[in-house]
């Protein structure tokens, strides 16, 4: 293409579109589209476009979806592979410490993995209460996360309405973030009792800040020119929020959501740990097992909480990718 353009630079630098370019017709649709397509299309797009448009009534939908299915599987493998390797590494270190570092009389401090699994998984008297407790904690974490999302996004939306609103309201968010949660938790217990709602409050306090901070950052991320565009078209405040600021914030909101999801797990477990009234959460059991020096059950509980944390993070990371990918158009990087 470029060589052809160099060959006739004087008359037709546009190359290939030469005969039409000389007249106005070039800007009328059919010719301009057909000629400019091959030169202007980014390389990735031509392969994406037919797939996207042909899918509903494509000639061989089975073959096509089969191919993408295989590709998706390969993609999943490259993502899961490192994770599995990391788990294997942790298990390896675990066994090394158990058998090579610890002397036999101190081995109870870190029982080997197979012993932990063997004495717990097959024993419904241990696993039953533990899964119930985990379930309880999942409920607190999800509930706390939902509340943190609603409050966090709402708070940021209010802040972005004016400079002074942000100056007045942002310090509260920062203070909430900087107070050590362990200092605040006993107080929450005294005020609210030691039940379910107190656990949720702790969870919300821990998960809230990343929601506020990321949403605010996202709401402010639209370019000044985009704001000018809305100003010039006399957009209302609601139109600006819903059609510019909020959509622009969506990727940041998902980043906040991912972080808040991980933190909500921590918050729920901290809440469990302090507030033992009512049915225990997994954090409550962690404390009980520790006090009884029930090492096998303690390690099983730790494994379960870790899996829970990873699951929460992964779900929201996947949601993030799916939604944002769609948001910016299929095939966008």
Partner 1 sequence: MSAATTTSTSTTPRPASMTRTLVLDDVTKAFPTGTVALEGVSLSVVAGEFVSVVGPSGCGKSTLLRLASGLDDASGGEVEVNATSTSYVFQEPTLLEWRSALRNVELVGELRGVPKLERRRRAREALDLVGLSGFEKQHPRQLSGGMRMRVSIARALVAEPDLALFDEPFGALDEITRLRMQTELQSLFALKSFAGLFITHSVSEAVYLSTRVVVMSGRPGRVVADIPVPWAYPRTPELRYEPEFGALVGEVSAALGEHS
Instruction: Give me the torsion for CA of 209, 214, 217, 220, rounded to 10°.
Output: -110
Burial of 32 (0-12, 13-18, 19+ CB in 10 A): middle
Considering the complex, state which of residue 52 and residue 101 has its C-beta at the smaller distance from partner 1: 52
Cβ contact 207:153 at 8 Å: no
CB of 160 to partner 1, least distance (A): 17
Q: Which is nearer to partner 1, 158 or 229 (CB)?
A: 229
Least distance CB 328 / partner 1 (angstroms): 6
Q: Smallest gap, in angstroms, from Cβ of residue 155 to partner 1?
A: 23
The least CB distance from residue 242 to partner 1, in Å, is 10
Q: How far apart are CA 192 and CA 280, in angstroms?
A: 17
Compute the residue count for the chain: 333
- Nearer residue to partner 1 within complex by CB, 27 or 68: 27
Compute the distance between CA of residue 206 and CA of residue 259 in angstroms, rounded to an integer. Answer: 11
CB closer to partner 1 out of 215 and 305: 215
Query: How far is the C-alpha of 325 from the C-alpha of 333, rounded, in Å?
Result: 8
Q: Which is nearer to partner 1, 16 or 278 (CB)?
A: 16
- Which residues contribute to the site for partner 1 (CB under 8 A)? 5, 10-15, 17, 21-30, 32-33, 36-37, 40-42, 44-45, 48-49, 52-53, 223, 225-226, 228-235, 239, 243-244, 247-248, 250, 327-329, 331-333
CB of 135 to partner 1, least distance (A): 37
- Cβ closest to partner 1, residue 27 vs residue 279: 27
For the bound state, the minimum distance from the C-beta of residue 22 to partner 1, rounded and expressed in Å, comes to: 5
Collapse the DSSP code of 41 into the 3-class scheme (helix H, G, I; strand E, B; otherwise coil) and give the result. Answer: coil
Cβ density class 285-323: b for 16+ within 10 Å, e for less: bbbbbeeeebbbbbbbbeebbeebbeebeeebbeebeee
């Amino acid at each position: 293409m470029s060589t052809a353009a160099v060959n006739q630079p004087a008359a037709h630098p546009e190359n290939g579109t030469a005969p039409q370019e000389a007249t106005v017709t070039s800007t009328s649709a059919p010719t301009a589209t057909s000629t400019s397509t091959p030169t202007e299309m980014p390389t990735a797009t031509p392969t994406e476009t037919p797939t996207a448009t042909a899918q509903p009534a494509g000639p061989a939908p089975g073959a096509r979806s089969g191919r993408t299915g295989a590709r998706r599987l390969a993609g999943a493998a490259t993502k899961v592979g490192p994770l599995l390797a990391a788990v294997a590494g942790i298990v390896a270190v675990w066994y090394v410490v158990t058998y090579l570092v610890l002397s036999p009389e101190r081995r109870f401090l870190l029982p080997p993995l197979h012993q932990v699994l063997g004495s717990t998984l097959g024993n419904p008297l241990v696993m039953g209460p533990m899964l119930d407790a985990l379930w309880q904690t999942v409920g607190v974490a999800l509930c706390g996360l939902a509340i943190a999302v609603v409050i966090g996004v709402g708070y940021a939306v209010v802040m972005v309405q004016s400079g002074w609103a942000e100056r007045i309201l942002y310090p509260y968010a920062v203070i909430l973030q900087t107070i050590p949660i362990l200092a605040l938790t006993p107080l929450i217990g005294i005020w609210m009792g030691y039940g379910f709602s107190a656990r949720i409050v702790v969870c919300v306090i821990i998960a809230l800040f990343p929601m506020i901070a990321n949403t605010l950052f996202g709401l402010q991320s639209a370019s000044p020119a985009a704001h000018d565009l809305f100003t010039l078209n006399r957009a209302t405040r609601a139109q600006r929020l819903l059609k510019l600021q909020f959509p622009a914030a969506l990727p940041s909101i998902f980043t906040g959501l991912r972080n808040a999801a991980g933190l909500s797990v921590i918050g729920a477990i901290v809440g469990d740990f302090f507030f033992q009234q009512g049915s225990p959460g997994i954090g409550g059991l962690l404390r009980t097992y520790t006090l009884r020096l029930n090492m096998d059950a303690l390690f099983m509980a730790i494994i379960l909480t870790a899996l829970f944390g990873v699951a929460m993070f992964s779900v929201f990371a996947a949601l993030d990718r799916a939604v944002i990918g769609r948001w910016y158009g299929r095939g966008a990087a």
